[in-house]
Each structure stands twice: as C-alpha cells, then as structure tokens.
Structure 1
Amino acid sequence: MSPRAPGAARWLRHAAALALLAILAACGGGGSDDAAAPAASPGATPGDTAPDVAAGSNVVPILLDRGTDGSAINSPFVSVTLCAPASGNCRTIDHILLDTGSVGLRVKASALGTLALPAVNAGGGVLAECGLFASGFAWGSVRSADVRLGGQQAAALPVQVMDDPAGPYARVPADCSDTGPALADAGSNGILGVGFDVQDCGSACASSVVSRLPGVYFSCTASGCSIATAPLASQLAHPVAALAGGDNNGLAIVLPDVPVGGSQRVAGSLVLGIGTRANNQLGGTAIYTARANGSFSTTYKGAVLPAFIDSGSNGIFFPDAAIPLCSSGFYCPPSPLALSATATGVNGASVAVPFTVVDASSLPSGTAAARLGGSVVLGSSFDWGLPFFFGRKVFVAIAGRATPVGPGPFWAF
C-alpha cells in the first residue's frame, strides 16, 4: 500500500499554495453507456450498509473496494453519470474518488469512451486546466457536461477531462509540466471534489492575479496553450452546489465502522443537501466552522496545528517523530497506539477525537483500514483522512449557502 495524503486538491487561493496530494488512476474501462443510478454492490457483507440513511433521489451509494487496478485502499468511490448537455447521450463512470479536499469533477479521458463533450471557450481559444497538486499536476481540457448524482442533475457543468488527447490539449505546456511530475495512479477513474468552495479556484483565477500564480487555467489554440484568466462561470464548479432544486447547500458522507482487521468491501452513502429532507437533518450534530481555506484547528500533544477533514486521504496524517515510520510513509509502531487529538472550529466548538494507529505493514490486504496513520506530507498540519469517517456521519456545508444553522463553510459530525 502507499499513502495518499492529503486529499485530491487544495487550490491556490489568494496567492497561497494550498495544493494537496491527489493520486488518480488510468481508466480500467470502468464506464458504461447508460444513465442508471449506481446500485448497491453485489457480494456486500453484513455491516456494509451505512446506518441511518433513508433512501431517496438525494442518496448516492459509496463503495470502498480495491479500485480499477487492485491498488486502492481507503478509497471511497461513487458512480457519476455525464451527458452531453441537453441530450440523451450519457455515460455512467464508476470508481470516481469522493474527495472533500477539492472542488469539481475530474474524469480520465479514457473513461469517457465515445461520449463527446463540448469544449468551454476562453480567450479566443478553448479552456484547459493544470491541476496543481503537491505530488504533481493533472492536465486536461475543460468541457461542459450535464452531471447526474443519484437522481439529481447539474446542467452544463464545467468539468476537467484529464489527459485529453484532442489536438490543442495533447501537448502539456511547460508552465504546467514544470510544476512537477504527472500524477500517479491509484485505482480511480477520476475525482468528485465536494469541498467548501463553489468554484475550484475562484476570484484569483478570474482576475489579473492569475499572472502572479503558477498556471491553473490556459487558453489553447492550434499554436499552443498559454496561461489565461477564467471567469467563475467557466471554472470547475462544485457539482452539489450546481444541482437543480434545494439539495445544493452541502452534503453528508455516511460510512459504517470497520473491524480491526479491515474489510474487503464497505458500502456507505453520499447524502445530498443539509436540512432539506428528512434524511439529511443535522439534528443535534455539533458544528465546527472553518476558515475560508477550509481549515480549522487540531491540538495534538500540546501543538495547535492547522487541520482539515479529507475523505481523499487514505489515512490520518500528522507529525509525530516519536512514532516509527514504514518505508511507505505510514506509521509502523511496534504495538497499537491509542492516541487523541482535539478538533476545534473557528466558532470555538471543540471535541476530543480518540484514534488508534497500528503497524501499517501488518495490516491485511483489506481495502478499508480504520487504524491507518502516517507522517504528514505538507508541513505541520493535521489531516483527518478517511479513517475519521468510519462510523460517523460527516456534513460538509458549502461556503455561503444557507442551512438551518447558518451558512457554510462548516463541518458537522
């Protein structure tokens, strides 16, 4: 196994680099030319089903398995249907990584099959994006698609088609490739980014500020691609925020707990909306507000660290020089370590969260491991990765969107 931390993408905002690790997969041919909502996976074992979620058109199944290439661990996957805008020409793509650390839908070009999506125009050319991550870059076109999540649809949504082989996109510009290596594979056909923001880059990429940032958006013509601004309406957008109807203020991720030895398959639910239906009510769930960049605070062994909750990270990642490391970057203590850290929202709400870290090299080859931890990748921060989600319902409130307890951004769990 290898660490994937932190999540899929933290974008450059206001000239501050918040890019986080994303590991995407070359497509394993996991699409289908139909528009059916994903069904519960065959072969699920008792305990796979996430608790306390009533069925509805706002519920999308989550599956944790080994991914398209057998390498995935602690990877929550959903299926997403893309259609050419205002048409019946659709394709459902499985194994899209559900990630609270990014915004926007990114799909491998090879997963689209024969589905043709129109390009988004920009600056006399067509728009492309260089996804900037701690581990490298994801290059591809920006195209328009109707996106279906369960029984809900976002119309004409800008999405990234990664590794698009079409003419103007085939060659990666140096302003993108010079940022690092291309991203590696880890069993997915793309990423569904469901973080706090409505667009993935926002005003920084819509104004002249872009000239002071590494290239994010590019205008491409037959002669090549050059850094360009991108209006908000053309940027990759939060798919949930763009849904028609009332379930567009946030979401909840619901996963069951997993046994000590891990599990080969786990089923859960992505629930769209917060306080909009009977199955997405907050009830007495505690609220932890976040800063504009999505962070809050976590205190670990007396140190107050910037922190985030990231379903795209496959472990809990934090700095602790006293814990032995495996060669993989995961922690490998000689015996299980019972630890605790205190999460604190900007609003002052605070909770002690116990967790356990075990020797990663001793774990079986199960795809869900609740006790997986590792050394932090980006500086001194605390990444509450996927193990934090097991046995919880975790709400993500989109920035500026109204909820029964006030506008986002906030976490609730």
Structure 2
Amino acid sequence: MLRFSILKAMKTAAVLLIACLTAACGGGGSGGGNSVSNNSAQTSAPTSSLAANVAAIAVDHGVAGVPNMPFVSVTVCTPGGASCQTIDHVLVDTGSWGLRVFASQLPASVSLPQQTTDNGGSLAECMQFFDGYTWGSVRIADVQIAGERAASLPIQVIDANYAAVPASCSNTGAARNTPSTLAANGILGIGVFKHDCGAACASQAIAGTYYACAGTSCLSTAIAESRQVANPVPYFGADGNGVIVSLPAVPSGSATSVTGQLIFGIGTQSDNTIDAAAHVIGADPSRGVFTTTENGTTYSGSIIDSGSTGLFFATNQMPACASPNQSYYCPGSTQQFSATNVGTNGIASTVGFSVGNAAQIWQASGGAAAMPLFAGPAFVGSQVFDWGLPFFYGRNVYTAIEQEATPAGTGPYFAYSG
C-alpha cells in the first residue's frame, strides 16, 4: 500500500472523533516547562526559559474542547520574513507530515506566494481523513517554531473558498475547513517523512491529493516532491534529524491541563540526547509503520501518533461506549493490558497500558483536557494499532526522520523511554 494512503487517511481521524464526549466544553491556555494541572479551573503553567530548539506544548481545551490534543504556536512569515503571524493551538502530529494552517488565521499583510505545479499552474491540495477532509492552496512560507526556522517551505493554507472543491476530494465525509470543525488552528505534521505524499504523488496523479487549478476548476495532478507540502523539521538545519515530544505523567485518570516540550533534533545538542535505554523501533521506509502484537492479534500497520486522542485498536476484550461515544471503550473497570512492538530493525519492546471507562472518566473530570486512560476501536480496522497521545504521557518519544542520521541510527524510526 502506498505510504500516504494508510497514514494520510489515519493521521488526524482520531482527533476528530468527538467534540466533547457528553459534557460541556471549556476554554484553555498554554505555558512553558513540563507540568500537570488538576485544578477544577484552568490555571497557568509555570513559565521557564526554553532553549532555541525547544517549544512549549500545551494539552488544554484548545479550540473546541476536544481532550488529548497537544498544541504549539507556529509563526508563519512571507518568504524573507518581512511580515509574520504567530498562530497558537496548532496540533502537534507525529502521524503526518507538513504544516497546515487556515487562511482565516493569516492577516492580509501575510500574503504567501502561490506554489505552482511542475507546469506552472496553481497547486492545491486535498487532505483526506476517514471522516472528512481539508482543502486549500499550497503556498510558500518561512516557518518558525521556537528558534528554528525553515525558509520557503510549501505549506497548505486551508480555505474552502479556494477554487471549487473537487468531488474526488469531498467524497470522504464532512469538510474540516474551519478551526472549529478541525478542533485546531492548524496541524504541524512532524512525522518520519519529509513530504506528505512523496514518490507516489511525484510519479502519478492520485485523486484526493494534489490538484492543478485554473480559475475555479481543479484537476488531479502529479507533483514533484520538492513542491509538495513539507515537514518543516528536516529544513531546520543542524536540528533537522527528528523531534522529541516530552510530556509529564498524569498521575490520576485526568488532568485539567498538561504542559510539556517539543524538542527539535536528536543527539544534536546537550538537551536532546537520546536515552541509552530507549527502545528504538524501526519504521517501514515506505509506509512509516511497524508491528504491534496484543492478545494474540498482530497489527502490521501500527503507528505512534500524537495527533490521535486515544490508543486506537480493534479488540473484543471490552465493550465500546454507548452512542454517541462509541469511538471509545467503556469497560466496567480499568483494565490492564500489554502489547509488544517490533520494528523493521528487529527490536522488540513490550509496553504496558491501561484503559478506563471513557464516558465515566469524562463525566467525573468535568471535561478535563488530559485523559491518559482513553482508548477506542474507531476507524483503525484490523491492521493498525494507533499509539495515540495517552502513550506519550510520562515519556520522551523520539521521531527520527527518513534518511537522517542520529546517534541511534538513521531514520525512519520511533523511539521511547519507559
């Protein structure tokens, strides 16, 4: 299977499963070092001075009150940096590749040049999920996160009013072309690949991906990798070989907010060394996946994905919640499980995890933002074990980018402590 077709469809589907489960949604903020808040009201996290290669992550109520969504702020500038806009609550997503922001978040002063097709036409992109899609033009921007900067990077500017959305794009469900329907002000795809479709889209036109537009008419087109929406990290220079997502543990079943760090580079500076005891799980160089085995079931297309709101896998060991929360599991009591990940490099690692009753936890928490016991069966099918954000709590999780050297080997791989 082409690498984009399993992960591009997967990457943010889990994020969009619910708006708030069954309770009312709240508001939130952001902050600086690693911390957990369990107060009934949102509080500001302690601030700290972060290194130039470190950005603060906030797991808070964000744009639409969806739990288990990690956010950073991203600055988008016209090429050369003459005019810039900082956008907050951009989703940190290790399961996709490329920056996507809404046109509504960019003032007129930040006018980004149109990316062109190989033949000089206007380039647009459709990003399809299992239950919806985003649509918009591909533009050229300088992208800055913390002290790291990528110059003249192709990004997607989501805009339902750009040309006319092709039927081959909109046939996958609801439009996610506003911050409220996406539950974020954008997506920062920092997974294991450099471009969001790669060689597949460079060699042929694939419906539901890239389009050449003239006026309001858009037709599917092949597009060179260099023109595709790009993961900004490999264009950050010395710290471009990967990222570390560092989030504190959540000591109870929920927390009002969590503050952590997004660290750029693996083994490039004193603050991003890789733990000698970390489990390094090689990812397939074409699809970015590895194998997970749980309770005798083998999931051959597994991923580690900060953009998913739970651990998503299909099992008959516990029931799903009643409608409208059937995307999550609701066991009678908290269940303990273990699963074994095996990388393409042959390294195996057994991971213990717990699954709670999502509906009961949500109601008891009053709508907290961090839910470490959330898991569900939604959308993943029989081949995918999606290690979503609950896997990240209390760990350093490393994502090494394809073809980039690190002290633990050349990417693509995922690694994690604990």
TM-score, normalising length from structure 2? 0.85
In structure 2, relative to structure 1, the CA distance for the partners of 1:356 and 1:15 (3 Å cut) is: closer
Q: CA deviation at 1:121?
A: 1.4
Q: CA deviation at 1:266?
A: 0.6
Alignment of 1:215-364 (within 5 A): 215-243=208-236, 245-284=237-276, 285-292=278-285, 293-306=287-300, 307-326=302-321, 327=323, 328=325, 329-363=327-361, 364=365
Q: Is the 8 A contact 1:376 1:383 kept in 2?
A: no
Q: CA deviation at 1:223?
A: 5.0
Partner of 2:24: none
In structure 2, relative to structure 1, the CA distance for the partners of 1:138 and 1:287 (3 Å cut) is: same
Aligned counterparts of 1:75 and 1:333: Cα–Cα separation in 2:
23
SS in 2 for 1:297: strand
1:127 aligns with 2:123: yes
From 163, 173, 180, the counterpart of 1:180: 173
Q: Deviations over 1:46-79 (max 9, x none)?
A: 99979xx99310001000110123x220000000
In structure 2, relative to structure 1, the CA distance for the partners of 1:49 and 1:398 (3 Å cut) is: farther
From 6, 13, 19, the counterpart of 2:9: 19
Partner of 1:150: 146
Partner of 1:7: none
Q: Deviations over 1:254-276 (max 9, x none)?
A: 00001223111110000000110
Aligned counterparts of 2:7 and 2:143: Cα–Cα separation in 1:
29
In structure 2, relative to structure 1, the CA distance for the partners of 1:73 and 1:45 (3 Å cut) is: closer
Q: Is the 8 A contact 1:79 1:95 kept in 2?
A: yes
Q: CA deviation at 1:186?
A: 4.7
Q: Is the 8 A contact 1:67 1:186 kept in 2?
A: no
Q: Deviations over 1:21-54 (max 9, x none)?
A: 526899xxx9xxxxxxx8639x97499979xx99
Letter in 2 for 1:277: Q
Q: Deviations over 1:141-171 (max 9, x none)?
A: 0000000010010000000011253xxx242
Aligned counterparts of 2:182 and 2:359: Cα–Cα separation in 1:
18
Q: Deviations over 1:178-226 (max 9, x none)?
A: 343323725310100011111110111112x22xx32311111125111
From 374, 378, 381, the counterpart of 2:380: 378
In structure 2, relative to structure 1, the CA distance for the partners of 1:229 and 1:337 (3 Å cut) is: same
In structure 2, relative to structure 1, the CA distance for the partners of 1:100 and 1:16 (3 Å cut) is: closer
In structure 2, relative to structure 1, the CA distance for the partners of 1:22 and 1:353 (3 Å cut) is: same
SS in 2 for 1:74: coil
Aligned counterparts of 2:280 and 2:36: Cα–Cα separation in 1:
33
Letter in 2 for 1:257: A
Partner of 2:195: 199
Unmatched tracts of structure 2, length 5 or more: 20-26
Letter in 2 for 1:397: A
Q: Is the 8 A contact 1:78 1:98 kept in 2?
A: yes
Q: CA deviation at 1:16?
A: 6.5
Partner of 1:107: 101
From 66, 69, 92, the counterpart of 2:86: 92
Q: Is the 8 A contact 2:136 2:160 kept in 1?
A: yes
In structure 2, relative to structure 1, the CA distance for the partners of 1:310 and 1:333 (3 Å cut) is: same
Letter in 2 for 1:189: N
Matched length: 383
Q: CA deviation at 1:406?
A: 1.9
Q: Is the 8 A contact 2:279 2:349 kept in 1?
A: no
Aligned counterparts of 1:13 and 1:324: Cα–Cα separation in 2:
31
Q: Deviations over 1:100-145 (max 9, x none)?
A: 1100000111111332111111234211001122122211000000
Q: CA deviation at 1:81?
A: 0.2
SS in 2 for 1:172: coil
SS in 2 for 1:330: coil
Q: Is the 8 A contact 1:15 1:204 kept in 2?
A: no
Partner of 1:4: none
1:403 aligns with 2:406: yes
Q: CA deviation at 1:96?
A: 0.3
Larger deviation, residues 119-128 vs 190-199? 119-128
Aligned counterparts of 1:261 and 1:391: Cα–Cα separation in 2:
13
Letter in 1 for 2:354: T
Partner of 1:5: none
SS in 2 for 1:339: strand
In structure 2, relative to structure 1, the CA distance for the partners of 1:228 and 1:159 (3 Å cut) is: same
Q: CA deviation at 1:87?
A: 2.8
Q: Is the 8 A contact 1:124 1:219 kept in 2?
A: no
Q: Is the 8 A contact 2:310 2:387 kept in 1?
A: yes
Percentage of pairs with the same residue: 43
In structure 2, relative to structure 1, the CA distance for the partners of 1:15 and 1:301 (3 Å cut) is: closer
Query: What is the RMSD computed on CA atoms of the aligned residues?
Result: 2.7
Unmatched tracts of structure 1, length 5 or more: 1-10, 31-37
